[in-house]
């Protein structure tokens, strides 16, 4: 088989055992890799009703057929599990050399089951899995954990690890790799922590075959050229932080816990200002020509801080802070301890509002200066930090007193930096996404920031747009392409099918590839339905549906339901959002086999 090893490595941490299990080729062709393959594995391996932080919840790392092809932006992997924030499917992606190292251990995915009796790290090679004590690593932040493991082992090994946040089971903790990159959303770091697994080291030399190397070389050169063109200018020039002033001008930048859609104190933290007043360095993932990652030198501390738009939004406007020093320090801290900046910022914004309303005793005052102290309390779970470590859904359910009305999450996952009342396609996407308030699994914002649709209008055309966007994103996240090359393709499905055929030798075409996207999204929905999903889960926070913005823009529950109905129709689902048998049959997922790996 070309492009794949055709195997999954299954590791049982409780029993300290491992084995390889073959994956049928038809499954690989149906779910491709990345989030698609891992969704299939999760559906097989996660027992119904499993505790997300219990030993039965599998933690799945998956690569893709494009990993190790040296195609630009293809060095990516997905981490999937039942999310401790939502109780539904949770997946997250990260990038760089570790994806190649993981694949060279001779498998397409690694499944971690059970729970180690003591803190453990794994050394996974192409012929062995070694279980080692991690007692000396406990408490270390992510970069120190990586450094120490490289010192102890080999300088070139790749490491995925959790920081102190994952050890403390903060429900929105991340898994870190390659010097601070994060599989950030849905709390996979807490799942890893629940297994007493501090780190995984990958070192291998097994390469997969490529069906047509000569053609792939030509594709590689062509993609490099295109990736340096106008389709990626923003990512190369300033990275995603350019969004801040754009979204602010267009009334789409949520601030002050989504009370407002622009931010009066933004000036210090725009890309324009940061580029004028600080030093910024571009960094590339392995095999990437774009270099979207920007390391900003904090003038206060002299240290370099990785900053992208979502972190800027969440630790800045969302919490009501326009202080650049506090933003940079907080973002750096979150990366080091392994906290999802979006959920962390949203939880602090909720806490500030609880203080303002007198719902919680003022252990901290509502002040930007306290953000870092609150983050530290969350990671150590000291005082109020213990409650805030649970995220807004659980914390507001504990506090009650109407605090859930301003807990800004969907299904438990905190909202990203897109204002749904002025971006109506995005509003629908946030409401129906299987992983909660997610901006990455639909690309719906693309439609709102274009002439394709009226972003202020809640209409039925949004249903089709979101369904198409989700399927397209599912293929991107399964191939796996970085989202930032999406516009270099003239015809995404045709060109991606051609590339997949070149790597694997399959006679796959655009139509079949598009159907993979639809199949993956339906399977994710099936997982959620098995875990108790009901239509009322597809909604938006109370504040969004009941409070107008200062410019009068609003979104009513009726308007959202109109769009949700249209989305279900576009998906060929029932009115209640469940999936009819004929849709499953058309997508060949009517007979999802029972557990294949026991």
Write out the residues near another protein by the rule CB under 8 A. Answer: 230-235, 237-246, 248-251, 271-272, 275, 308-310, 443, 445-446, 448-451, 456, 483-484, 486-487
| Residue 549 Cβ vs another protein, minimum distance, rounded to whole Å | 13
| Residue 502 Cβ vs another protein, minimum distance, rounded to whole Å | 27
Q: Which H or E element spans position 394?
A: helix 391-399
| Residue 270 Cβ vs another protein, minimum distance, rounded to whole Å | 8
How far is it, in rounded angstroms, from Cα 572 to Cα 547?
32
CB 197 within 8 A of CB 121: yes
- The owner of tokens 């979204």 is 247
**DSSP secondary structure, 80-132, as one string:** EEE-TTTSSEEEEEEESHHHHHHHTTT-SEEEEES--SS-EEEEEESS-EEEE
Q: Which is nearer to another protein, 34 or 416 (CB)?
A: 416
Q: Which is nearer to another protein, 11 or 415 (CB)?
A: 415
CB 44 within 8 A of CB 593: yes
Q: Which is nearer to another protein, 34 or 251 (CB)?
A: 251
Sign of the four-CA dihedral 394, 395, 398, 402: negative
Q: Which is nearer to another protein, 232 or 330 (CB)?
A: 232
Q: Which is nearer to another protein, 26 or 451 (CB)?
A: 451
| Residue 308 Cβ vs another protein, minimum distance, rounded to whole Å | 6
Q: What is the largest CA-CA distance in the chain?
A: 67
CA 552 from centre of chain: 32
- The owner of tokens 């490289």 is 150
How far is it, in rounded angstroms, from Cα 69 to Cα 101?
12
| Residue 524 Cβ vs another protein, minimum distance, rounded to whole Å | 21
| Residue 278 Cβ vs another protein, minimum distance, rounded to whole Å | 13
CB 345 within 8 A of CB 319: yes
Ranges of H-type helices in 251-294 = 271-277
Q: Which is nearer to another protein, 359 or 456 (CB)?
A: 456
Q: Provide the 10 A C-beta neighbour count for residue 4.
A: 24
| Residue 135 Cβ vs another protein, minimum distance, rounded to whole Å | 39
How far is it, in rounded angstroms, from Cα 511 to Cα 48?
33
| Residue 404 Cβ vs another protein, minimum distance, rounded to whole Å | 29
Q: Which is nearer to another protein, 309 or 506 (CB)?
A: 309
CB 371 within 8 A of CB 348: yes
Q: Which is nearer to another protein, 239 or 320 (CB)?
A: 239
Q: What is the dihedral of CA 121, 126, 128, 134, to 10 degrees?
A: -10
| Residue 499 Cβ vs another protein, minimum distance, rounded to whole Å | 21
| Residue 467 Cβ vs another protein, minimum distance, rounded to whole Å | 19
Q: Which is nearer to another protein, 403 or 425 (CB)?
A: 425
DSSP 596: S
Exposure string for 476-501, b = 16+ CB within 10 A, e = fewer: bbbbbbbbbbbebbeebbebbbbbbb
DSSP 9: E
Q: Which is nearer to another protein, 215 or 453 (CB)?
A: 453
How far is it, in rounded angstroms, from Cα 257 to Cα 252?
13
The two structure tokens encoding residue 77: 């992997």
Sheet-wide strand order for 304-306: 280-283, 293-297, 304-306
| Residue 520 Cβ vs another protein, minimum distance, rounded to whole Å | 20
Q: Which is nearer to another protein, 188 or 243 (CB)?
A: 243
């Amino acid at each position: 088989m070309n492009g794949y090893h055709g195997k999954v490595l299954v590791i049982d941490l409780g029993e300290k055992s491992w084995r390889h299990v073959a994956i049928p080729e038809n499954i690989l062709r149906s779910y491709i890799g990345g989030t698609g393959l891992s969704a299939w594995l999760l559906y097989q391996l996660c027992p119904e009703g499993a505790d997300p932080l219990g030993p039965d919840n599998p933690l799945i790392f998956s690569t893709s057929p494009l990993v190790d092809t040296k195609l630009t932006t293809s060095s990516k992997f997905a981490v999937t599990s039942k999310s401790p924030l939502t109780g539904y499917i949770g997946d997250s992606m990260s990038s760089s050399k570790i994806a190649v190292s993981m694949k060279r251990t001779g498998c397409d995915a690694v499944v971690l089951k059970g729970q180690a009796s003591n803190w453990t790290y794994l050394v996974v090679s192409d012929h062995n899995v070694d279980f080692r004590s991690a007692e000396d690593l406990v408490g270390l932040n992510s970069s120190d954990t990586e450094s120490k493991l490289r010192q102890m082992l080999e300088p070139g090994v790749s490491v995925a690890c959790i920081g102190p946040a994952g050890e403390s089971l903060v429900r929105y903790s991340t898994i870190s790799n390659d010097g601070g990159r994060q599989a950030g959303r849905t709390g996979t770091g807490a799942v890893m922590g629940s297994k007493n697994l501090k780190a995984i080291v990958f070192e291998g030399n097994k390469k997969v075959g490529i069906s047509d190397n000569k053609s792939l070389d030509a594709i590689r050169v062509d993609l490099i050229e295109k990736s340096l063109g106008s389709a990626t200018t923003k990512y190369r020039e300033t990275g995603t932080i350019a969004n801040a002033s754009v979204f602010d001008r267009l009334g789409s930048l949520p601030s002050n816990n989504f009370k407002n859609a622009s931010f009066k104190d933004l000036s210090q933290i725009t890309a324009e200002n940061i580029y004028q007043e600080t030093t910024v360095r571009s960094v590339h993932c392995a095999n990437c020509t774009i270099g979207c990652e920007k390391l900003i030198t904090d003038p206060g501390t002299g240290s370099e801080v990785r900053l992208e738009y979502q972190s800027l939004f969440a630790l800045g406007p969302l919490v009501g802070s326009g202080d650049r020093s506090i933003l940079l320090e907080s973002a750096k801290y979150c990366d080091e301890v392994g906290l999802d900046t979006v959920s962390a910022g949203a939880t602090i914004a909720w806490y500030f509002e609880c203080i303002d309303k007198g719902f919680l005793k003022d252990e901290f005052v509502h002040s930007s200066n306290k953000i870092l102290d609150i983050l530290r309390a969350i990671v150590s779970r000291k005082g109020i930090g213990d409650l805030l470590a649970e995220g807004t859904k659980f914390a507001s359910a504990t506090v009650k007193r109407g605090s859930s009305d301003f807990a800004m999450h969907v299904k438990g996952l905190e909202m990203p930096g897109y204002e749904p009342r002025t971006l109506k396609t995005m509003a629908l996407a946030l409401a129906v996404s299987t992983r909660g308030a997610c901006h990455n699994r639909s690309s719906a914002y693309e439609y709102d920031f274009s002439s394709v649709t009226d972003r202020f209008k809640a209409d039925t055309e949004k249903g089709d747009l979101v369904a198409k966007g989700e399927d397209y994103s599912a293929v991107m996240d399964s191939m796996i392409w970085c989202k930032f090359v999406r516009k270099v393709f003239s015809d995404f499905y045709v060109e991606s099918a051609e590339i997949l055929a070149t790597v694997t030798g399959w006679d796959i075409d655009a139509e079949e590839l598009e159907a993979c996207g639809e199949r993956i999204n339906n399977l994710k929905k099936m997982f959620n339905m098995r875990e108790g999903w009901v239509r009322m889960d597809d909604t938006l926070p109370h504040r969004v549906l009941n409070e107008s913005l200062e410019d009068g823009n609003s979104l009513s529950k009726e308007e959202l339901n109109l769009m949700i109905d249209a989305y279900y129709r576009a998906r060929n689902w029932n009115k209640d959002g469940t999936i009819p048998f004929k849709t499953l049959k058309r997508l060949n997922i009517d007979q999802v086999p029972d557990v294949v790996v026991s």
